[in-house]
Amino acid sequence: KNEVEQSPQNLTAQEGEFITINCSYSVGISALHWLQQHPGGGIVSLFMLSSGKKKHGRLIATINIQEKHSSLHITASHPRDSAVYICAVRPNSGGSNYKLTFGKGTLLTVNP
């Protein structure tokens, strides 16, 4: 079982819908990242958070450290939001300071 689980694996929405992507992890962490990968491969870092909530434009990321869970929300979704959204965590105990553990990603398709 992967240490980082994302749900759903695939998500199709209509333009304007509110979208939620979930990330659960099984270890203590010092930080969680949300990344966006468009077709063609390029990855953009959206958020890095260790507690609470962050907002950037139509994107909101929340994290509950006690429940080991994070959500990424997209309000008023648009076809240009179509991408793979990846959750990654930095485990607290052991291992390298540089090593992130990644989820498999959620493929979001927003139809016009």
Partner 1 sequence: ETGVTQTPRHLVMGMTNKKSLKCEQHLGHNAMYWYKQSAKKPLELMFVYNFKEQTENNSVPSRFSPECPNSSHLFLHLHTLQPEDSALYLCASTSGSGRVVDTQYFGPGTRLTVL
Residue 96 makes contact with partner 1 by CB under 8 A: yes
CA distance 28 to 87: 15
Query: Is the torsion defined by CA of 74, 77, 80, 82 positive or negative?
Result: positive
CA–CA gap between residue 34 and residue 28 (Å, rounded): 17
Q: Which two tokens stand for residue 14?
A: 């209509």
* Distance in Å, CB of 104 to partner 1, minimum: 5
Site string for partner 1, 12-51 (x = CB under 8 A): ------------------xx-x-x----xxxxxx--x-x-
User: Is residue 100 near partner 1 by the rule CB under 8 A?
Assistant: yes
CB atoms within 10 A of CB 47: 21
Query: Does residue number 75 form part of the binding site for partner 1 (CB under 8 A)?
Result: no
* Gap between the Cα atoms of 64 and 22, Å rounded: 11
The yes or no reply on residue 57 touching partner 1 (CB under 8 A) is no
Q: Which residues bind partner 1 (CB under 8 A)?
A: 2, 4, 30-31, 33, 35, 40-45, 48, 50, 86, 88, 90, 96-105
